[in-house]
Chains A and B, each alone.
Chain A
Amino acid sequence: MTAEIQSNDTSPSAMSKFFKSVGLLRESPIAIFGLSLILFWVILAILAPILPLYDPNAPLEPFKMPLSDARDGGLYWLGTDHKGRDILSRVIFGAQQVLIWATTATAVAYIVGMLMGVVAGYLGGWWDEVISFISNVLLSFPVIVLYIIIITYLGATGFNIVLAVTFASAPGIMRIVRGLVLDLRTRDYIFAAQTRGESAMYIMLVELLPNARGPLIVDACLRLGYTTITIAMLGYLGLGLPPPDPDWGKMIAETQPLGSFAGHMAIVPAAAISSLVLGFNLLADGLREISMKD
């Protein structure tokens, strides 16, 4: 019976809390706009398999301009590329790839960075010295070189992109978390947990990290944007996802030898990248603005 009460009491509050936080977004038009841009791509990516699209890898008619008629009576909304593949279809399927890998990579970087940060901040001493040193070494390395080294050595796969992003982002996340923890660890509730003999692990994971979430959510949004850029950049350099899967960065790279002859081939994926990154950045800005108000 008591369990019933518990579930009754928590589930509506979780629901209402969700709606409340969505409601809070209304206060920042910037956040709403950012979120709309992100949702636009997320929805397209989810619906990609059921939308009436051409196969993104099928060679149809090369170099068609946007809005030109297809041989089979259809319409190439955004034209086709040099191999005759439908650009609209490639951009939408490319969104799938970008969203999946950007989210995974950011999430993994976050898990690693948060663990490093909370350990360095809470345990201090040698832990802090070692973790901060490693982070500083990684941060002092030019990121682009780091990516190239990792991916040329290990090969261009989704997993390796996650690995490279983690190496590049985790030290930065570690620094933020460490700073937050240094402040939070002086609170009385941490002292209370220590005086009842809680383990360091419990204090770090249950007492400290949940309270660091505010600034981290904003940072995570920004970082999702950076990671999107990173994935596009790697694709452009030929270090992205293995072909023939559509990749926004690679789509831009493919137009390079063609010059201005087929501008739409570059503009469409470039606009896709910018809009998604802009969405993440605006959402982060809006969230920060909302959190400052309170």
Chain B
Amino acid sequence: MEEQTPILECRNLCISYDTRGGEIPAVIDFNMKVMPGQGVGIVGESGCGKSTVALAIMQYLGSNGYIKSGEIFFHGRDMRTMSEEELRALRGSKIAMIYQEPMASLNPSMKIGDQLAEVPLFHEDVTVSEAKARALELLEAVKLPDPKRIMDAYPHQISGGQQQRVVIAMALLSKPDLLLLDEPTTALDVTVERGIVELVKEISAEFGTAMVYISHNLGLILDTCDRVTVMYSGEAVEDGTVNEVFDEMCHPYTSGLFASIPLPGADKNERPLVPIPGQLPLPHQRPQGCFFGPRCAFFKAGTCDQEKVPMRPVEGEEGHTVRCARFEDIDWAEGDHEAVTVKSVKSGKIVLDVKNMKKYYEVRSSSIFSMIRGDAVKTVKANENINFNAREAETVAIVGESGCGKSTFAKVLMGLEEATDGQVILNGEDLAHVSVQKRKARTVGHLQMVFQNPFDTLNPSHSVGSQIARVIRKFGVEKDPDKVREKVNELLDLVKLPRDFAHRRPRQLSGGQKQRIGIARAFAGNPAVVVADEPVSALDVSVQAAVTGLLTEIQNDLRSTLLFISHDLSVVRYLSDRVVVMYLGHIVEQGTTDEVFSPPYHPYTEALLSAVPIADTSVEQKQIILKGDIPSAMNPPPGCPFQTRCPRKIGSICETEMPPVKELSSGHTILCHLEDDVLNAMEPVIVTHSEEKIA
């Protein structure tokens, strides 16, 4: 094995960017070796340099980026000595890259077949019909339904998951030796992501393609790679096989990462997540010695803050290296701060009660044909019979993928849309048909929202303080300017940010800090219910833990109800008391977190659970891969909404009849035709090897 030349090798690679502020080293002293057929993962938080490495391999660093020192060997040849001509011949044929956003990799004005055929036409001496035949073959290989139709489609006519499959097909067309995947599934839904990940695994096995898989998601890396490199602030901090790094991690940062993601078994009250304190240093603010020093629980002055720390091998484990000055001396128990356990809070009376809520939209088709046919107005049933309630101080999670109607529900709740039918009762007041403009200021303040995208949640033109102050005045909490300012300070204290942040502009804040301000804003009016729409999904894992922790803490103190909208079942299991699973506008399952996460399941819940990537080697997940994509709410399938993808479909009844709401136990309901004996025979999806069933 050792004599084989690696497909790709990076030696002491240093990459810098030239900016207004001078040279910024983005990647420092990076080493990597990719053997044929091997999958190597690079994991790290945003800004750690993982994408820069990929761009450097492609020699695509842009006008201000350059390789300062070190070498990149591809099949033993230094890529830095290759001419532009040679590189062009290499890219797309020997090395292919798959990006996060599939739409950005496809030309919107070209048919998919033509785009795919371009690759062999450019790189090889083939005729157009041969190229087309090859394209079709690969569309079949990436398991796209009806590849002939897709050859003739434009990119916007197929779904996001299908687009990513096309991109993968395009990357594979010229049988590359190396595939670079930069967060290839981050923009996709979990069940679609699962399908793509399986595809990537199969393909690398089938074609023997080596892979560099870049992701922030440890679970995905575990699933796809043989080796993994953990990066922090431009440096590799730990490198080894997946098992070494996941089970016998030696670097405090790696260990911190694992402590801050919700693995099965974590619990917000008894075993809360431990966030990594502080934040990633900016490249020009990196400390002396170990870059992780200031955030490290095992930091030792005199050892860690002196000279640059080299990568050192771990004794007894060949190939496992760690960039830590004192990893042999670390007593892991010492840094294991007795995680602050929180008393679980008893939920109180029902605060929010949603009864038979329906929301239909009328969509007008402007095409002349539909006008002639007389079906110019179509009804989109975004929410159908939504029934659930939430109690004081309770966390209710609404789970579902894109298009499931959770955002529509949030809009109705917030009063931006009026419900078509049904009731939404908040503290005894029906708000289903009252738009936000007509609600009393106090009611509006009682129902607030934390938004998903931290970069969008604050208005970039106004200072943080003035934005919080506006909310305080608007909800009638305080009017007097001095009191308002005092309240702004109190809220900043509440979200654990320094008071002088009030004068800052949003762009001077990090993502996590912005999200804290978003939380402060939502809690300004002493809300009864806070709707959090994926509040942490756009944040880095170590920051996620801190923000979720903060959110639950404030919620417990103020006894607010939290409606937590998310697609990430790990976070949901960790945070919520009860779970509502939605699919295509219907609630398919609801119950307490334990009930939903253990059998019997709704088949969709079962599939969702099996799709969540879990970064724990001792956990075994049942593989359930859903076919196809989520149907559009414009054309829902007849009968059961899930019947088109359901692996447990029983027959024509699923296609014709809407399933009944079946009560499995008090409060635990599912929407399914399955018989009781089938439901009772279901096995848990997630099992840990210690025989202990967790879900």
Contacts and interface: CB of A to CB of B under 8 A. Distances in A.
Interface of A: 2, 9-10, 13, 27, 187-189, 191-192, 194-199, 206-207, 210-211, 213, 293
A210 B521 contact: no
29 contacts: A2-B485, A10-B503, A188-B451, A188-B452, A188-B456, A189-B456, A189-B458, A191-B449, A191-B451, A192-B451, A192-B457, A192-B521, A194-B414, A194-B436, A195-B416, A195-B436, A195-B444, A195-B448, A196-B444, A196-B474, A196-B475, A197-B441, A197-B474, A198-B474, A199-B437, A210-B459, A211-B459, A211-B460, A211-B461
A210 B453 CA distance: 20
Interface string B305-343: 000000000000000000000000000000000000000
Contacts of B449: 191-192, 195
Contacts of A199: 437
Interface string B605-641: 0000000000000000000000000000000000000
A10 B458 CA distance: 19
Contacts of B457: 188-189, 192
Contacts of A213: 461
Interface in B36-57: none
A143 B456 CA distance: 40
B414 A195 contact: yes
B414 to A, nearest CB: 4
B444 A210 contact: no
A95 B250 CA distance: 73
Nearest to B466: A206
B453 A196 contact: no
Contacts of B437: 197, 199
Contacts of B458: 189
Given A189-B457, A197-B436, A27 B414 contact: no
B475 A189 contact: no
Interface string B2-38: 0000000000000000001000000000000000000
B279 to A, nearest CB: 22
B211 to A, nearest CB: 34
B439 interface: yes
Given A27-B20, A207-B459, A211-B460, A196 B452 contact: no
B584 to A, nearest CB: 23
Contact of B444 (A10, A188, A191, A197): A197
Interface in B451-494: 451-453, 456-462, 471, 474-475, 481-482, 485
The 3 closest A-B pairs by CB, nearest first: A210-B461, A188-B451, A188-B456
Size category, B interface:
20 to 34
Contacts of A198: 474
Contacts of A210: 459, 461-462
Given A27-B20, A189-B458, A210-B462, A196 B448 contact: yes
A2 B462 CA distance: 19
B453 to A, nearest CB: 6
Contacts of A293: 20
Nearest to B459: A189
Nearest to A198: B474
Contacts of B448: 195-196
A196 B151 CA distance: 47
B161 interface: no
Contacts of A206: 462
Q: Which of A27, A189, A199, A207 has the most CB of B within 10 A?
A: A189
B415 interface: yes
B461 A187 contact: no
Contact of B439 (A13, A192, A197): A197
Nearest to A207: B459
A207 B474 CA distance: 15
Nearest to A199: B437
Given A195-B448, A211-B460, 5 more contacts: A2-B482, A27-B20, A189-B457, A191-B449, A198-B474
A198 B485 CA distance: 20
Contacts of A196: 436, 444-445, 448, 471, 474-475
B479 to A, nearest CB: 15
Contacts of A211: 459-461
Nearest to A17: B505
A287 to B, nearest CB: 16
Contacts of B474: 196-198
Given A2-B485, A9-B503, A211-B461, A195 B456 contact: no
B21 to A, nearest CB: 12
A15 to B, nearest CB: 15
A9 B505 CA distance: 13
A2 B439 CA distance: 33
